[in-house]
Amino acid sequence: MTHAPDYSERRAHPRVAANFRARAFYGTNNGLWADCHIVDVSQGGARLKIAQIYPLPGRFMLLQLDGGIVYEARLRWRRGDLSGVAFDGRHDVATSSLDSLAQIRQTWDALQTAK
Protein backbone atom coordinates (compact mmCIF):
# COMPACT_ATOMS: atom_id res chain seq x y z
CA MET A 1 0.00 0.00 0.00
CA THR A 2 1.37 3.44 -0.91
CA HIS A 3 0.85 6.44 1.27
CA ALA A 4 0.22 9.97 0.07
CA PRO A 5 3.11 12.39 0.67
CA ASP A 6 2.86 14.53 3.78
CA TYR A 7 2.63 18.15 2.61
CA SER A 8 1.94 19.58 6.05
CA GLU A 9 3.54 22.88 6.95
CA ARG A 10 7.09 22.39 8.23
CA ARG A 11 7.89 26.04 8.97
CA ALA A 12 8.34 27.16 12.55
CA HIS A 13 6.29 30.32 11.83
CA PRO A 14 3.21 30.53 9.57
CA ARG A 15 3.38 32.51 6.32
CA VAL A 16 1.16 35.53 5.81
CA ALA A 17 0.30 36.78 2.32
CA ALA A 18 1.89 40.16 1.58
CA ASN A 19 2.50 42.55 -1.27
CA PHE A 20 5.36 44.73 -0.04
CA ARG A 21 7.68 46.60 -2.36
CA ALA A 22 11.29 45.85 -1.50
CA ARG A 23 14.85 46.24 -2.71
CA ALA A 24 17.60 43.64 -2.36
CA PHE A 25 21.10 45.08 -1.77
CA TYR A 26 24.27 43.09 -2.29
CA GLY A 27 27.86 43.38 -3.46
CA THR A 28 30.63 45.58 -2.11
CA ASN A 29 29.19 48.12 0.33
CA ASN A 30 25.71 47.01 -0.81
CA GLY A 31 26.38 48.91 -4.03
CA LEU A 32 24.29 46.58 -6.24
CA TRP A 33 20.53 46.36 -5.93
CA ALA A 34 17.40 44.88 -7.48
CA ASP A 35 13.78 45.86 -6.91
CA CYS A 36 11.46 43.04 -5.88
CA HIS A 37 8.24 42.22 -4.01
CA ILE A 38 7.74 40.33 -0.77
CA VAL A 39 4.83 38.03 -1.65
CA ASP A 40 4.54 36.34 1.73
CA VAL A 41 6.31 36.74 5.02
CA SER A 42 6.73 34.99 8.35
CA GLN A 43 8.68 35.82 11.47
CA GLY A 44 11.60 33.76 10.15
CA GLY A 45 11.66 34.59 6.44
CA ALA A 46 9.85 35.47 3.25
CA ARG A 47 9.17 34.54 -0.33
CA LEU A 48 10.31 37.13 -2.87
CA LYS A 49 9.37 37.78 -6.45
CA ILE A 50 12.58 39.00 -8.07
CA ALA A 51 13.54 38.68 -11.73
CA GLN A 52 15.82 35.70 -12.19
CA ILE A 53 18.27 37.86 -14.17
CA TYR A 54 19.49 39.29 -10.86
CA PRO A 55 22.17 37.04 -9.34
CA LEU A 56 21.28 36.98 -5.66
CA PRO A 57 24.20 35.94 -3.44
CA GLY A 58 23.83 33.60 -0.48
CA ARG A 59 23.48 36.57 1.89
CA PHE A 60 22.13 40.05 1.18
CA MET A 61 20.18 42.90 2.75
CA LEU A 62 16.48 43.32 1.98
CA LEU A 63 14.85 46.74 2.46
CA GLN A 64 11.08 46.65 2.83
CA LEU A 65 10.18 50.00 1.25
CA ASP A 66 6.84 50.17 3.04
CA GLY A 67 8.03 50.76 6.58
CA GLY A 68 11.80 51.03 6.28
CA ILE A 69 12.67 47.64 7.72
CA VAL A 70 15.98 46.08 6.66
CA TYR A 71 16.31 42.32 6.92
CA GLU A 72 19.59 40.45 6.90
CA ALA A 73 18.51 37.78 4.41
CA ARG A 74 19.93 34.36 3.59
CA LEU A 75 18.91 32.74 0.29
CA ARG A 76 17.34 29.32 0.91
CA TRP A 77 16.02 28.45 -2.54
CA ARG A 78 15.36 29.94 -5.97
CA ARG A 79 12.97 28.83 -8.72
CA GLY A 80 12.54 31.16 -11.67
CA ASP A 81 11.37 34.56 -10.40
CA LEU A 82 10.59 33.27 -6.88
CA SER A 83 13.09 33.02 -4.03
CA GLY A 84 12.81 31.89 -0.45
CA VAL A 85 14.86 33.69 2.19
CA ALA A 86 15.48 33.26 5.90
CA PHE A 87 15.93 36.28 8.15
CA ASP A 88 19.04 36.46 10.32
CA GLY A 89 18.42 39.99 11.60
CA ARG A 90 16.06 42.95 11.40
CA HIS A 91 16.79 46.69 11.64
CA ASP A 92 14.86 49.94 11.36
CA VAL A 93 16.79 51.80 8.65
CA ALA A 94 15.85 55.23 10.01
CA THR A 95 17.19 54.61 13.51
CA SER A 96 19.97 52.05 13.03
CA SER A 97 23.53 53.33 13.41
CA LEU A 98 25.17 50.30 11.77
CA ASP A 99 27.86 51.35 9.29
CA SER A 100 26.92 48.40 7.09
CA LEU A 101 23.54 50.05 6.42
CA ALA A 102 24.97 53.40 5.25
CA GLN A 103 24.29 52.82 1.52
CA ILE A 104 20.82 51.47 2.23
CA ARG A 105 20.06 54.44 4.51
CA GLN A 106 21.07 56.86 1.71
CA THR A 107 18.72 55.08 -0.68
CA TRP A 108 15.92 55.11 1.91
CA ASP A 109 16.41 58.84 2.53
CA ALA A 110 16.35 59.59 -1.22
CA LEU A 111 13.18 57.58 -1.70
CA GLN A 112 11.49 59.38 1.20
CA THR A 113 12.47 62.78 -0.23
CA ALA A 114 11.06 61.80 -3.65
CA LYS A 115 7.58 61.07 -2.21
- What is the domain class of 16-110 according to CATH? mainly beta
Instruction: Using CB atoms within 10 Å of the CB of residue 99, give its burial: 0 to 12 exposed, 13 to 18 middle, 19+ buried.
Output: exposed
Mean per-residue pLDDT of the chain: 89
Dihedral, CA atoms, 100, 104, 109, 110, nearest 10 degrees? 140
Q: Where are the domains of the chain?
A: 16-110
Record the pTM: 0.86
Instruction: Identify the pLDDT of residue 112.
Output: 87
Checking if the pLDDT of 8 tops 80, the result is: no
Checking if the pLDDT of 61 tops 50, the result is: yes
If you write DSSP's letter for every residue of 15-48 in order, what string do you get?
Answer: -EEEEEEEEEEESGGG-EEEEEEEEEE-SSEEEE
DSSP code at position 100:
G
| 94-113 pLDDT tens trace | 999 888 898 899 999 998 88
Instruction: Identify the pLDDT of residue 63.
Output: 97
Percent over 90 (pLDDT), the chain: 69
Q: Beta strand pairing status for 16-26 and 59-64?
A: antiparallel
- Give the separation between CA 68 and CA 3, rounded to whole angstroms: 46
50 in Cβ contact with 61 (< 8 Å): no
Percent over 70 (pLDDT), the chain: 88
